[in-house]
Structures are given as C-alpha cells and as structure tokens.
Amino acid sequence: MGFLELQNITKIYPNGTKAVDETSLNIDNGEFVVFVGPSGCGKSTLLRMIAGLEDITSGKISLDGNLINNIDPSERDVAMVFQNYALYPHMSVFNNMSYGLKNRGISKDEINNKVNDVAKLLEIDQLLSRKPSMLSGGQRQRVAMGRAIVRNPKIFLFDEPLSNLDAKLRNQMRLEIKKLQRQMGVTSIFVTHDQTEAMTLGDRIVVINNGVVEQVGTPKDIYSKPKTKFVAEFIGSPQMNLFQSKIENGLAKISDIQIKLNNTLNIEDACVGIRPDDILISDKGEYSSLANLVEYLGSDMIIYSSIGGQEFSCKLSSKINLKAGDIFKFDISPSTVHIFDNVTGYRA
C-alpha cells in the first residue's frame, strides 16, 4: 500500500522564504504523480518533506492513514532517487544496493536474493562488484533506481533523476521508469522541471508555481484546459501564444484582428491563449500575417510572426511551402481558444 495524504503543508525557511504554501493533495495507491514547475517553485522541497529530509513548518503528511510528520526518514518506508544519483562512492554496486537492507536487519541470504533479482531486472547484474566511479551515467542511474527498488518501499520519490543524462538516454530511461512503475505498481512521485517528462510519465500532474499548486489533473486535462495563465504557458511546447486583448460580448479584439468566440464573455483586461498548433494555415484563411522567421524541425516547422506588435508562433507540417518574408493566411477555431482573466490569472 502507499496512500499519501498531504494536508495544508507549508514550509517557511528560517530566512522567511515561503517555499511551499498550504498545499493539500491526495495520492492514490499505485499512482504515478509528477510535480512540475520552474526551478525554485518548491516542488523539490515538497518532495523532501515527504521523504523527511526537510522539516514541515505546518500541515500534516500521512501515509496509509498514519501521520508521518515526525517519523524518522529511514522508518517512513519511502525510497528516493536523487538527481546526481547520490551513490556511496566507496561502496560497490552490490553494497550500495544492500546498505539500506543491512541497516534494517534483513538476513544475508534474503539481501543476496533481493539484490540479485533487482540487478537482473535492471540489467546491472554484471556490474555488482564495481565501484560507482567505474560506471557510466546511465549505469549509475540504474544503480540508484535499484537501490530504491530493492527496498520495496511504499512510495518512490524521484528528484529530477533524469536531468543529468544526455537526451537519448533520458528518453530511454523515461520509458523504463514508466514501465517499471506500471510493473511494480508502487506509488511514485516524480519531480521535474521538464514538461515533456511530466506529460509522458504522470497519471496525474501537479503544476506548482511559487510554492502554490496551480493545477492538479491528468496530462490531458492540463493540456486542454489549463486552469491558470501560468499553467497554459508552462505546459506545451512550443509555448502557448498569449495575446493581450479586450473581450466584448464574445468578441476578442487583438489589435486589428477580431476573433468570434462561442460565448458571450465581457472582459476588459483579458488574455487570449492559442496553442501554436491550433493556428490553422490555409489559403482561404480569415486572417493574414507576415512570417518573420521560420524554424525547420524536420517533420514540423515553426513560424514566428506578430499581430499588432504581439509576437506569436505557429506550428505546422513542414510540407507546407512557406519561407520567411511570406504572407500567410490562417484560421482560428473558437473552440481551441483559451481565455484568461488578466486580473485573477484564472481561466474565464
């Protein structure tokens, strides 16, 4: 089991910085939850409070219904994988993986079996006698994972474990983590600043900004219905285009362009968000603009343009023949437009 409840968790550092502010969240048994946000947003602090490495200023953390606020990190039954792997440099891979078990008084035979099983699972059984300094980055990452898995904890905590790997290895490990988690069904919390990792890994994503949870939801929810302007901008690549606008009776005005929305909103200070791939280029398009710059990405290309001084980008298939300096025509479907109130920052 691994049912985690966070109730009004707050962390204030001695210097007065509020890292986490009144965060409440329930994580179901076997669920894979990703904390995502810009660096310094408090996501790691929250994870470290769950691990017990950081004191909680106020609030309650309970695991399977038991309050764990004051339980020693070693007795919380959580395992953590660190960004820089944090392997014990003086110990062999085998000892790295068995250290936590040994300290919990598990018999030698059982330790041997467990370590060997996990090593086989992660394909590091050839490396058991090596020291971490003799391993590559990817192998170290596997050992760090193995050290967590072998403990058979209630919860896995991942603190940006992929950010030290190169792009190719990162994708590979990402898939593997997802597969392992599905296979073992252990509750997992994964901290990252990379929205691709968040989208691909999480059953649910928790978007955090400035110590506050902006939105909790499935990747699809978060992408298609961002609750705040921050979430809209943070999730999705390339970033969502945001236009300052004034909405009168369902008509959004962005300088000389007018977009008819399928509602009757009236917002003085609004922000209109349109994802780059929701700008539909066609010869019969209602609007037109000048392509300032074209980025070719293989199958796709990104066009940078502007409307009345507000820059935006659109993503389209690179089969379309368009180059910088061309005028292009496009349509916007009202159903793909996200409207935010600039005053509150919330979705309207």
Partner 1 sequence: MKKVQFKSNYSQYFFLAPQLLILLIFLYWPIIQTFKDAFTMQDAFGFGSQFAGFDNFLFIFSDPSYFTAFKFTIIYSLVITLITGSIGLLLAVQANKVIHGKNVYKTLLIWPYAIAPAVVGVMANYFFSERYGLLYHLFNNLWGFNWYKDVFDAYIYVIIAGSWKQISANFIFFLAGLQAIQKTVIEASIIDCKSNIRRFWTITFPLLMPTTFFLIIINITYAFFDTFGIIDTTTIGAPGSETKTLVYKAYIDGFKGLDLGSAGAQSIMMMIIVLFITIFQFRYIEGKIHYN
By CB under 8 A, name the binding residues for partner 1. Answer: 51-53, 72-75, 78-80, 82-84, 86-90, 99-100, 103, 131, 133, 147
CB of 294 to partner 1, least distance (A): 40
**CB count, 10 Å around CB of 151?**
20
Radius of gyration of the chain (CA): 24
Single-letter residue type at 270: A
CB of 306 to partner 1, least distance (A): 45
CB of 54 to partner 1, least distance (A): 10
Rounded to an integer, what distance in angstroms lies between the CA atom of residue 293 and that of residue 306?
10
CB environment 60-79: b (16+ within 10 A), e (fewer): ebebeeeebeeeeeeebbbb
Q: Which is nearer to partner 1, 19 or 301 (CB)?
A: 19
Q: Which is nearer to partner 1, 84 or 258 (CB)?
A: 84
- 334: Cα separation from own chain's centroid: 28
Chain position carrying tokens 């609007």: 287
Q: Which is nearer to partner 1, 46 or 79 (CB)?
A: 79
Q: Which is nearer to partner 1, 79 or 332 (CB)?
A: 79
Q: Which is nearer to partner 1, 100 or 285 (CB)?
A: 100
Edge to edge, the sheet with strand 287-290 lists: 279-281, 327-332, 287-290
DSSP 346: B
CB of 74 to partner 1, least distance (A): 4
CB of 89 to partner 1, least distance (A): 4
Q: Which is nearer to partner 1, 96 or 181 (CB)?
A: 96
Task: Return contacts of 299-302, CB within 8 angstroms, 24+ apart.
Answer: 302/238, 302/276
CB of 247 to partner 1, least distance (A): 49
